[in-house]
Amino acid sequence: MSPQAPLSLGAAPPRTMPGAGLLAISALAGAVLLAWPIVFQGSFLVYIATLVMQFSIGACSLQLIIRTGHISMSHQAFVGIGGYTSVILVMKAGWAWHFALLAAIAAPALAGAVIGPILLRLTGKYFVLVTFLFGEIVRLVFIDWQSMTGGSNGIFEIPKPYPWMNDPTAYYYVSLGFAVACVGFCIRLMRSEIGRAIDAMREGPNLTECAGVPVFRIKVVMFIIACGLSGVMGSLNAHMNNVITPGNYGPMESLNLVVMNVLGGMTNMAGAIIGAVFLIALPELLRGYVEWQRVFYGIILIVVMASMPGGMVELLARLRSRLTGREAHLASAVAAEGRT
Amino acid sequence: MSTGGAPLLAVEGLSMTFGALKAVQDLSFTVHDGEILGIIGPNGAGKTTAVNAISGTFKPTAGRVTFDGHLVTGFAPHRLAELGLVRTYQATTVYGTQTVRENCRRGAFLHLYPGFFDALISSAKARAMRAAVEKEIDRLLDWLGLAQFADTEARNLPYGVQKTLGMAIAMAARPRLIMLDEPVAGLSAEETDHVRDTIKRIRASGISAIVIDHNMRFISGLCDRVLVIHHGQELAIGTPAEVMSHPDVIEAYLGKGHAAATAKANHAAPGH
């Protein structure tokens, strides 16, 4: 790890080609995802799964920023910009949802293009602090711009994108489609030469720049793409909830997206998805114990961070290497790196 | 590749000040195609600062840097790399958690990156570039004697081999001029000889080099010309033999008394 890296974000796992095992797991996951709303028709579990789809988009897009070496504490603010843009255009301007969605991608991307080049000059804890403040500023704008956003009460009775999406099963499949597209895009991006450069610049920024990588430009472009994608989550989420309020888009909610990445594993898109599943499902499972929720949260977070710096993806890698008997080539590498 | 004629790199009047500290003052030198220039000086003389000011890490306070006919003063490192000027660092030289081969791939970004959309869809162009770079890396690893370590993680390599890998990463960018900042710091005598031979072979393949170090034995055994820096200024420039017999250099390195003694010995006629 280079001395320039102010926060240890871990190294990229070795690049491997997808093997037969991975294909089998993907096929199984695909089958489960497609069958889910049919098996649990009319159940609360369909809603939870839809929420997971939306948060997967948020967590994976945030990982694009984290992988460049910057932990953004304002990502949920960009989700909010996307959400408000979509809702306002549909409800006040009468736009069809598909056009409003495009605007909901463009608006946070534009905001990211303006603020990114300024914020990304900061590194480490300074970036974390300033993005935290930026997230708070955006939340205050949502509260104070009453004529547009409805103030702290927000906007009510938001229609579904299309009438047929009043059916939770339909909403689930639409969210699944967007999640597959957005997450697939992130995975593809990180497996490309751009992803290689991004992982390299986090581990040795100077060394990478000397290889001809325009480090700063790539950081800015990734920030813009991530903010744009976050708008997809914003729009889908707001129209599903029927209501949009500033409280959903503050720094604490941004922290949630960061924690998803930390829990699951910050250097692997699968980690972001696992984190999203965990953090969305857990509060719902613990509904009867509201006062204990945060305690459980804290304990799990501490255990994961202390024993598995590579996140849950690391745990899976360890289990796999134990199962296949290939003693810990991959897992120990990930584990050892996380500790340095 | 032409020799003689216009220099590959020309530095004119380079100065770098931090507040009141004049770290580098009015430095001028050239590097020609296929030449190895040594930059030597005591610790704190401004060697690394000079390289930083050339390689875009800092913007120089004054002066001009021309590379291959382009005015490149203050250019960012990645733009210099595109033109063929690549440097290595004293400390961070390799990506520890990655294999030797992956380290080289990261160095070869310029020859791997096909453009955003081609990379995203892994187009025919992207795949062709990848195949070409893999071949090039095979050749490079063979050439530098790293082939046996291709799948080893860099942090598990002996320190001397890591230094060679650092040069392999720089070479993967296919530079015309490579700037090596203390390539033998912390190496044993045997490893030092190995690195010296490697740099000579790099030059033999038509690549120029600037080598920074404070070890006179290493520099004089390697370089065509040597620039001696003291207190941020040029003390002497010339062939290793010329520089080593220069009274100012002897004084800076060995102290005043020694310089006088050496001068006396040099002038001592047989009749005395």
Whether B148 and B131 map to the same domain: the answer is yes
ipTM: 0.85
The one-letter amino acid at A209: E
pLDDT score of A20: 74
**Long-range pairs for A103-108 at CB < 8 Å and ≥24 separation?**
A104/A231, A104/A232, A104/A234, A104/A235, A105/A228, A105/A229, A105/A231, A105/A232, A106/A228, A106/A231, A107/A81, A107/A82, A107/A231, A108/A78, A108/A79, A108/A81, A108/A82, A108/A227, A108/A228, A108/A230, A108/A231, A108/A234
By Cβ distance, the residue of B55, B110, B126 closest to A211 is B110
Distance from CA of B38 to the nearest CA of A (A): 20
In chain A, the residue whose alpha carbon lies closest to the alpha carbon of B82 is A212
Residue B201 and residue B147 share a domain:
no
Total of domains in chain B: 2
CATH annotation of A40-288: 1.10.3470
The predicted pLDDT at position B95 comes to: 93
Judging by DSSP bridges, how do beta strands B208-213 and B36-40 pair with one another?
parallel
pLDDT (0 to 100) of residue B254: 66
Residue B131 lies in a domain: yes
Domain ranges of chain A: 40-288
Residues B71 and B147 in one domain: no
Whether the pLDDT of residue A233 is over 90: the answer is yes
Average pLDDT over residues A99-122: 96
pLDDT for the residue numbered B252: 76
Question: How many Cα neighbours within 13 Å face the side chain of A300?
Answer: 18
A331 pLDDT more than 60: no
Alpha helices in chain B (DSSP H): 47-54, 77-83, 100-107, 109-112, 116-121, 124-143, 159-172, 189-204, 216-220, 240-244, 247-254, 256-267
The answer to whether B14 and B26 have CB atoms below 8 angstroms apart is yes
Asked if residue B91 is part of any domain, the answer here is no
The DSSP bridge pattern shows strands B62-67 and B70-71 to be antiparallel
- Give me the pLDDT at residue A327, please: 46
CB atoms within 10 A of CB B42: 14
Q: Which residues of B touch A (CB under 8 A)?
A: 55, 57, 76-78, 81-82, 86-89, 91-99, 102, 105-110, 112-114, 116, 119-120, 122, 126, 153, 169-170, 172-173
Q: Is the pLDDT of residue A263 over 90?
A: no
How many contacts, defined by CB atoms under 8 Å, are there between A and B? 100
DSSP one-letter code for B122: T
Please determine, for residue A80, whether its predicted confidence score (pLDDT) is greater than 60. Answer: yes
Give residue B261's pLDDT.
Answer: 55
pLDDT over 50 (residue A340): no
- DSSP state letter for A244: B
Residue ranges for chain B with pLDDT beneath 50 = 1-3, 268-272
Nearest Cβ partner of A210 from B86, B120, B122? Answer: B86
The domain of B59 spans: 1-84+175-272
Tokens in use for A269?
A: 């898109």
Q: Are residues B135 and B249 in the same domain?
A: no
The pLDDT-based confidence of A51 (bands split at 50, 70, 90) is very high
pLDDT value of position A325: 60
Average pLDDT of chain A? 86
Contact B109 A188 (CB under 8 A): no
For A284-307, the pLDDT digits (tens) are 777 777 777 778 777 877 887 777
Q: Is the pLDDT of residue A3 over 50?
A: no
Whether the predicted pLDDT of A101 surpasses 60: yes
Of the listed ranges A9-18, A95-104, A170-179, B184-193, the least confidently predicted one is A9-18
Task: Say yes or no: B156 and B188 in one domain.
Answer: no
User: Is residue B254 in a domain?
Assistant: yes
Domain shared by B68 and B105, yes or no: no
Q: Tell me what pLDDT residue A301 has.
A: 77
Do B221 and B143 sit in the same domain of this protein? no
Q: Residue A162: is its pLDDT beyond 70?
A: yes
Q: Given B128, B152, B174, which residue is the final one in a domain? A: B174
DSSP-assigned letters across all residues of B156-207: GS-HHHHHHHHHHHHHHT--SEEEEESTTTT--HHHHHHHHHHHHHHHHTT-
Could you give the 3-state DSSP secondary structure of residue A233? helix
- Whether residue A4 is predicted with pLDDT greater than 50 in this model: the reply is no
A200 Cβ neighbours under 8 A, 6+ residues apart? A207, A208, A211, A213, B95, B106, B109
B234 and B205 share a domain? yes
Residue from the list B97, B109, B122 with its beta carbon closest to the beta carbon of A11: B97
In a domain, B74, yes or no: yes
CB contact under 8 A, A210 and B114: no
Both tokens of residue B38? 């040594």
Question: Does the pLDDT value for residue A334 go beyond 90?
Answer: no
Query: With 80 as the cut, is the pLDDT of residue A94 above it?
Result: yes
pTM, entire model: 0.87
For residue range A168-208, what is the model confidence (pLDDT) as tens digits?
A: 999 999 999 999 999 999 999 999 999 999 999 998 888 99
Distance in angstroms (rounded) separating the CA atoms of residues B168 and B177: 14
Which residues of chain B are within 8 Å of residue A184 when distances are taken between CB atoms? none
